[in-house]
Amino acid sequence: MIMAIDVGNTNITVGVFEKDEVIATFRLTTKMPRTSDEYGILLVDLLEQNKIGCDVILDVIIASVVPDVMHALEGALVKYLGIRPMIVEPGTKTGIRIVTENPRQIGADRIVDAAAAYELYGGPVLVLDFGTATTYDLVDKDGAFVSGVTAPGIRISAKALWEDAAKLPEIEIRKPESILAKETISSMQAGLVYGQIGQTEYIVKNMIREADMGKVKVVATGGLGRIIANETDCIDVYDPNLTLKGMNLIYKKQNRKMGRTLARTDLERETER
């Protein structure tokens, strides 16, 4: 089995694959500082809760946009699973060509999403990820990442409301019964959710129009993506595990020894020293 770890700004999402099937997923909070031992104990415990033994995890792939957690997380995987993980970074075979002006500025999560959407749904494809930020990434029919738009995510917008407006409370993000809100909480929910729907439809329509690529498949993912996908016809597919699937697909493209072998070699070198 292969473990895929998506380190995002808000959550660390973990998926375990048996061939191409996701057999378990779980999440950790990213912003809470943790040591390698804390990460290791949490991962082992969550695997056991899903009835997965550590010994059946043969390798790990990580896509991260949070460099600060990587040292502790990689250390945990070596110490508790005996695996030196593969990191998605510039030079990794993904099946996607980055043809923007500054390819190295494209986050690993966006590249992984693009690779998954292109391989699973074909091109041209527009990939929407409703995470901490909401991103819109366009891949052409030949697998080239040609354009990306970045906007504040729903949670960022919500946090700005209740932190910067003294009388507005912290609320649950969900679609209210009507856009014709009659009190504070539903008015905030209406603004956040319907505002995101309007933004999504406008950006999708204009990206497709300006790209002039003909029929473009629109694929969405991300924690709050389901709320938006259910409310607009501009999204063709909502795939909650798109990023994890992308990492599994990318892993299979590599000519790599198993992580357990790499970790064992590293430990042997340290012992020799």
pLDDT at 171 over 80: yes
Render pLDDT for 53-79 as a digit per residue (tens, 0 to 9): 999 999 999 999 999 999 999 999 999
Q: Which amino acid is at 14?
A: V
Q: How far apart are CA 10 and CA 164, in angstroms?
A: 20
| pLDDT tens digits, 32-51 | 889 999 999 999 999 999 99
Residue 166: the pLDDT is: 84
For residue 261, the model assigns a pLDDT of: 67
Read off the pLDDT of each residue in 28-34 and give the average, rounded to a whole number. 90
The fraction of the chain above a pLDDT of 70, given in percent, is: 94
Q: Give the residue-averaged pLDDT of 164-181.
A: 91
Q: What percent of the chain has pLDDT over 90?
A: 81
Average of per-residue pLDDT across 89-97: 91
pLDDT band at 104 (very low <50, low <70, confident <90, very high): confident
Answer whether residue 102 shows pLDDT above 90: no
Mean pLDDT, all residues of the chain: 92
Average pLDDT over residues 85-100: 92
SS (H, E, C) the chain: CEEEEEECCCEEEEEEEECCEEEEEEEEECCCCCCHHHHHHHHHHHHHHCCCCHHHCCEEEEEECCHHHHHHHHHHHHHHHCCCCEECCCCCCCCCEECCCCHHHCCHHHHHHHHHHHHHHCCCEEEEEECCEEEEEEECCCCEEEEEEEEECHHHHHHHHHHHCCCCCCCCCCCCCCCCCCCHHHHHHHHHHHHHHHHHHHHHHHHHHHHCCCCCEEEEECCCHHHHHCCCCCCCEECCCHHHHHHHHHHHHCCCCCHHHHHHHHHHHHHHC
Q: What is the mean pLDDT of residues 92-109?
A: 90
Mean pLDDT, range 102-125, rounded to an integer:
94
> Which position among 109, 129, 140, 239 bears the catalytic label?
109
- Single-letter amino acid code for the residue at 211: A
Q: How confident is the model at residue 264 (pLDDT cuts 50, 70, 90)?
A: low
CA end-to-end distance (rounded Å), the chain: 32
Mean pLDDT to the nearest integer, 172-185: 92
At 223-263, the pLDDT tens digits run 889 999 999 999 999 999 999 999 999 999 998 777 666 66
pLDDT tens, position by position, 123-166: 999 999 999 899 999 999 999 999 999 999 999 999 999 988 88
Q: What does the pLDDT read at residue 273?
A: 47
Please provide residue 108's backbone torsions phi and psi, each rounded to the nearest 5 degrees.
-60, -35
Is 109 one of the catalytic residues? Answer: yes
pLDDT confidence bin for 272, thresholds 50/70/90: very low
The answer to which of 77-81, 102-106, 108-112, 131-135 has the lowest mean pLDDT is 102-106
Residue 216 clears pLDDT 90, i.e. is over it: yes
| pLDDT value of residue 265 | 59
Question: Are β-strands 2-7 and 11-18 bridged in parallel, bridged antiparallel, or unpaired?
Answer: antiparallel
What is residue 266's predicted lDDT score, i.e. its pLDDT? 60
